[in-house]
Amino acid sequence: MRRFYSPPESFSPDRTSATLGEEETRHLRDVLRLNVGDTVNVFDGNGHEWEAKITSIERRSTVVEVTSEVEPAAPESPLNLTLAAVVTRGEKYDLVIQKAVELGVTRLVPLFSIRGDVKPAEAAKRMDRWRKIAAEATKQSGRAKFMEIAEPVNVTEFMQDSKAETTIFFSERDGARFTPTNDPASVAAIIGPKGGWDDTELEAAKKEGAAIVTFAGRILRAETAAIAITAVLQHRFGDLT
């Protein structure tokens, strides 16, 4: 698919044309070798996508003429899913970001925990990288709406501020089976670090009324757990049927 991102402010007031930025222009011109007159799709990151025709290609910008609005290849999930996962080292968290976009997560919250091995200052430096990975995954997956990536926060603070209808705290111990009895419109899934949760964090989850769930029979790496649990929740409450 020849899809390009153009922020809402880059569209003309009547939405008949849009201007692509320097990075998108470079990809269009130098990688895909597109020319004036070629047809592309343009999305605005807010859930809207259009078919458009290239009218001019400059060194740092490209202008396209919008011809019609189209449905994104990957519609948004009906489930408002927040994935709150403790930050891991290296490129493992990059994989979580990418797959969360592909699986239709609405919002991702990087978490800190007592047994986590990434400090707040280190995570803050990775925010731009994570958002670029999410943007590229959005283009590749066919979504037209960006997954929100929130500022990193402590797990206890997240639980206290969560507005989700259902909050599920996944733990390697002291949890029950996953037996949902309702169909919530919004879910927050909390995934821990490779070292597991501290006792104080488990107690905080109970205090905040989160459902503590333990999957029996498998030992998963932190990044695997985040991806697998997202798929399970989308199958149970979303549109992965």
3-state class (DSSP) for residue 138: helix
The arithmetic mean of pLDDT across residues 115-138, rounded, is 91
The arithmetic mean of pLDDT across residues 49-75, rounded, is 96
Give one word for 174, left, alpha or beta, with left for phi > 0 and alpha for psi -120 to 50.
left
Whole-number Å distance between alpha carbons of 36 and 52? 11
Domains of the chain as residue ranges with CATH: 3-70 (2.40.240.20), 80-237 (3.40.1280.10)
pLDDT band with cut points at 50, 70 and 90 for residue 89: confident
Average pLDDT, the chain: 94
| 149-168 confidence digits (pLDDT tens) | 999 999 999 999 999 999 99
Contact present, 160 and 169 (Cβ < 8 Å): no
Whole-number Å distance between alpha carbons of 48 and 66? 12
Q: Check residue 178 and give its pLDDT.
A: 85
| 16-60 confidence digits (pLDDT tens) | 999 999 999 999 999 999 999 999 999 999 999 999 999 999 999
| pLDDT surpasses 90 at 179 | no
| pLDDT surpasses 80 at 218 | no
What is the model's pTM?
A: 0.91
Whole-number Å distance between alpha carbons of 73 and 3? 10
Q: Check residue 174 and give its pLDDT.
A: 86
